[in-house]
Amino acid sequence: MLSYKFDWSVITSGQYHEWLISGLKVTIQLSISGILLSFLLGLIVAVMRMSHLKLFRWSACVFLEFTRNTPLLVQIFFWYFGSYKLLPTAVNEWLNNTGFEFAAALIALTIYTSAFIAEDIRSGVLSIPKEQMEAAQSSGFSYIRSMQYIILPQAVRITIPPLVNQFLNLAKNSSLAMTIGVMELTYQARQVESYTFKGFEAFTAATVVYLAISVIITFLVDQYNERVLQIHKGA
Amino acid sequence: MIQFTNVNKWFNTLHVLNNINLQVKQGEVIVVCGPSGSGKSTLIRTINQLEPINDGKLIVDGKDLSDKSTDINKLRAEIGFVFQQFNLYPHLSVISNITLAPIKLRGLSKKDAEEQAMQLLTRVGLAEKRDVYPSQLSGGQQQRVAITRGLAMKPRIMLFDEPTSALDPEMIGEVLAVMQDLAKSGMTMVVVTHEMGFAREVAHRVVFMDAGTVLEEAPPEEFFCNPQTDRAKQFLNQLLTPMHGATCN
């Protein structure tokens, strides 16, 4: 016989419920800011990677190789345990008092994800006919302005499906932030488990919530995608 | 307005422009024709530096294109370019296609730019299409929007690279009518085209190219009725509709 007694009330109400909710809030904060920042950084890196200027192209390549080819966990540890050693003591103290864990996790997630986003956007840009760039430049737009107004808006639309994958990865990868003490959803589920020994309930709750986050992100991007792309079908 | 002096261009070992000397004066309409691969598209694309030249001197609107201090983006804003494949921006509506450059590069307010765009759209007969997207237009309509997009920058020169070659026959007329109207308004135009009827009617001079060189350069009457080279005679004979010969004595 199964000796384990399920007790879902642990996670549906009371103190432990509060813990999980506060963890969810942190996960959402981390995911949304990570998605926005990594998209922005990804755009910049993609444009640099395609620039005519060797210096830009070269530094973008180095950035991409470093970030894509090292484990995210190592990067999180680097920013949390490593980076602050380069800063003055006063700044260090200030950081320690203002929740540096969250910032370090956000920086690591943003940088890591932006590398993948940059490559997705770059392949989107390469799929735009070169005549679009010619049309833009013959109107007098510089390379950067042509990218900004004509090429990237088209490329990003094409890139939306792979971008959704990167956004989902970021939301799921945010669970690694628990390793440096960010009190996000996985961290709190772990806490609930150690206080109550209700590991099944706690992690079932976490699983369901992650699933819900992913479904919502996919739904939102799909909606946006459909609204914007509908008009251009057959272009 | 445009001055080619001993201009040469190579694609690797292919000599696409061979010692070109050509002058286009303000208000002139020049038609460039010739067999495919003769370098006429390359020639017109050098004028706004979509193709840089390798050798010689090219002066456009008083600016030397080989001079490093020439602001090419500024110069391009003064030159309208119409492509064979229209190349409208598919993610923007007709009105936004036209107003994008005037707003971003000329600093026009959205209202002023749209007002001006509507005047031009009315002139080409497409005022009611302001809010549709390029994919919802026919080829002829797209090309008329593309011409409008060029004109919205109030250019000093308009370049046309085979503007009717991608169109169904019944749509060619509507585009040529717009171009004819433009020529009569005194615009400086360089047109690469196979439309000899157009050349005959509005061109001041016809330039015939073959294998990267300018073989003939003459007023349309002279070129069509009395071509000097065998290559030009052969080319004119191969055109299926000998409209150009209609009024030769």
Q: Give per-10-residue mean pLDDT for chain A (235 aa).
A: 81 90 95 96 94 93 96 94 80 77 94 96 94 96 94 90 93 95 94 91 94 93 75 46
Evaluate whether residue A4 is within a structural domain.
no
Q: Give a yes or no: residue A9 inside a domain.
A: no
Contact B76 A232 (CB under 8 A): no
Asked whether residue A76 is assigned to any structural domain, the reply reads yes
Asked whether residue A6 is assigned to any structural domain, the reply reads: no
In a domain, A94, yes or no: yes
The gap from C-alpha B78 to its chain's centroid, in whole angstroms, comes to 14
Strands of B12-106, DSSP E: 14-24, 29-33, 55-60, 63-64, 79-82
Chain B closest-CA separation from residue A159 CA (Å)? 14
Q: Which residues of B touch A146 (CB under 8 A)?
A: none
* CA pair distance B197, B152, nearest whole angstrom: 27
Q: Is residue A121 part of a domain?
A: yes
| Mean pLDDT, chain B cut into blocks of 10 residues (249 residues total) | 94 93 96 93 95 94 91 95 96 96 96 96 94 95 96 96 92 93 95 93 95 94 92 86 57
**Residue B81 with chain A: CB contacts under 8 Å:** 135, 138-139
- C-alpha to C-alpha distance for B113 and B106, rounded to whole angstroms: 10
Domain count for chain A, please give it: 1
pTM for the structure as a whole: 0.81
For B185-216, what is each residue's pLDDT tens digit?
999 999 999 999 999 999 999 999 999 999 99
Q: Give the Cα separation of A7 and A5 in Å (integer).
A: 6
A120-153 CB burial, b ≥16 within 10 A, e <16: bbbebbeebeeebbbbbbbbbbebebbbbbbbbe
Please check whether residue A1 lies inside any domain of the structure: no
Question: What is the spatial distance between Cα B109 and Cα B163, in angstroms, rounded to a whole number?
Answer: 30
Rounded to two decimals, the ipTM of the complex is 0.90
DSSP state of A150: I
* Structural domain contains residue A198: yes
Q: Pick B76's closest partner by Cβ from A129, A140, A233.
A: A140
Nearest one of A187, A225, A1, A48 to A105, comparing CA atoms: A187
A191: domain range? 15-234
Cα A73 versus chain centre, distance: 14
CATH number of the domain residue A55 falls in: 1.10.3720.10
- Classify the C-alpha dihedral A191-A194-A196-A199 as positive or negative: positive
Query: Which of A138, A142, A232 minimises the CB distance to B90?
Result: A232
Q: At what angle do helices A100-126 and A89-97 cross, to 10 degrees?
A: 90
